[in-house]
């Protein structure tokens, strides 16, 4: 069973969408990544920081999924990272209403000794300097380092981001962010520019329009499954990343062909995440439902055509 180190937030989220609103519920990039990765035969560990205000039941739930939690620092009398977001009617855009870093402001991630040799590392959206410090703790260098980031770090920590991405293998980024990072409107050109910056594989997420995987002259596209009901897109990108890395860590095969499969597994899991608020759908997701939807995915994209 491959080892996977996941770094990112474990958080309180509060969400408003056209379909309702939540109280403070469990969220955070590492939470969504971990729940998706737990769908595979993988030894996953979360590295994060929380306050002792985070209900023990949340940690017990993650532990119950087989995720190792010794890399989560619990700060006595500390407050957990809190994020509040509001989605617009099309669900494709959202406003961040509140971000309280709390304990995250002093996060010095410590990778547990027995996970320093993990084959795969998933660096969730965080300050690129924090992501770099995790890379430096790994020994030997992981076979695959995947990094997720966002426009916030391009605006506020670009030199650190450019340094960190020199050391990674795969970047996952959304279309607008790829354009911002490179100044290229064409995603093909943007992906080529990003590969010159370090990562040899570039995943560009396009929300309800699927995801693209670029590697040299190769390109692969996975659609998003058309869904009847979308309630809350929060964590879809992280769930994609958890499915992508969980699948790769469980198979140990890092070929481009297998990465294509990983993109499909990631997209498939993300399609569940958005069906309920927060982590609700991912918490009760059964293997049979995942398999069934994979068949739908296959049918959606398969066609026969006679070519000369």
Q: What are the residues binding ligand AMP (CB under 6 A)?
A: 9, 11, 13, 27-29, 83, 99, 125-126, 152, 234-238
Nearest approach in angstroms of CB 41 to ligand AMP is 24
- Please report how close the Cβ of residue 220 comes to ligand AMP at its closest, in angstroms: 21
**By C-beta, is 3 or 127 nearer to ligand AMP?**
127
Our CB check for ligand AMP shows the closer of 277 and 297 to be: 277
Closest distance of CB 139 from ligand AMP, Å: 26
- Helices 256-273 and 29-37 pack at an angle, to 10 degrees, of 110
CB 254, min distance to ligand AMP, A: 24
> Which residue from 22, 21, 70 is spatially nearest to 47, judged by alpha carbons?
70
Q: Give the Cα separation of 41 and 26 in Å (integer).
A: 24
Q: How far apart are CA 3 and CA 13, in angstroms?
A: 28
Of residues 3 and 265, the one with the C-beta less far from ligand AMP: 265
CA 242 to chain centre: 5
Which lies closer to ligand AMP via its Cβ, residue 9 or residue 119? Answer: 9
Alpha carbon distances (Å) from 179 to 175, 183, 193, 203, 260: 6, 5, 10, 13, 23
Pairing of strands 11-17, 82-87: parallel
Q: Looking at beta carbons only, is 43 or 153 nearer to ligand AMP?
A: 153
CB 29, min distance to ligand AMP, A:
5
């Amino acid at each position: 069973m491959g080892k996977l180190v996941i770094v990112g937030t474990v958080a309180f989220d509060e969400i408003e969408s056209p379909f309702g609103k939540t109280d403070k519920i469990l969220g955070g990039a590492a939470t969504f990544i971990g729940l998706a990765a737990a769908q595979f035969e993988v030894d996953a560990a979360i590295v994060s920081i929380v306050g002792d205000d985070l209900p023990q039941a949340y940690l017990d739930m993650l532990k119950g999924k087989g995720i190792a939690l010794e890399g989560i620092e619990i700060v006595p009398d500390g407050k957990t990272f809190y994020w509040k977001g509001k989605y617009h009617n099309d669900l494709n855009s959202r406003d961040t209403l509140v971000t309280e870093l709390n304990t995250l402001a002093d996060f010095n991630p410590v990778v547990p000794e027995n996970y320093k040799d993990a084959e795969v590392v998933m660096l969730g959206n965080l300050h690129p300097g924090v992501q770099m410090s995790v890379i430096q703790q790994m020994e030997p260098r992981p076979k695959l380092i995947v990094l997720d980031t966002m426009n916030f770090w391009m605006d506020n920590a670009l030199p650190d981001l450019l340094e960190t991405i020199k050391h990674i293998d795969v970047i996952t980024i959304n279309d607008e962010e790829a354009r911002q990072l490179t100044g290229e409107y064409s995603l093909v050109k943007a992906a080529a520019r990003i590969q010159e910056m370090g990562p040899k594989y570039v995943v560009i997420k396009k929300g309800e329009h699927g995801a693209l995987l670029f590697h040299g002259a190769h390109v692969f596209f996975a659609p998003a499954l058309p869904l009847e009901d979308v309630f809350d897109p929060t964590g879809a990108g992280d769930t994609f990343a958890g499915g992508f890395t969980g699948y790769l860590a469980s198979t140990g095969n890092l070929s481009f062909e297998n990465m294509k499969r990983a993109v499909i597994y990631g997209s498939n899991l993300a399609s569940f995440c958005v069906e309920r608020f927060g982590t609700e759908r991912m918490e009760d997701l059964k293997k049979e439902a995942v398999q069934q939807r994979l068949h739908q995915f296959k049918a959606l994209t398969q066609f026969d055509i006679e070519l000369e």
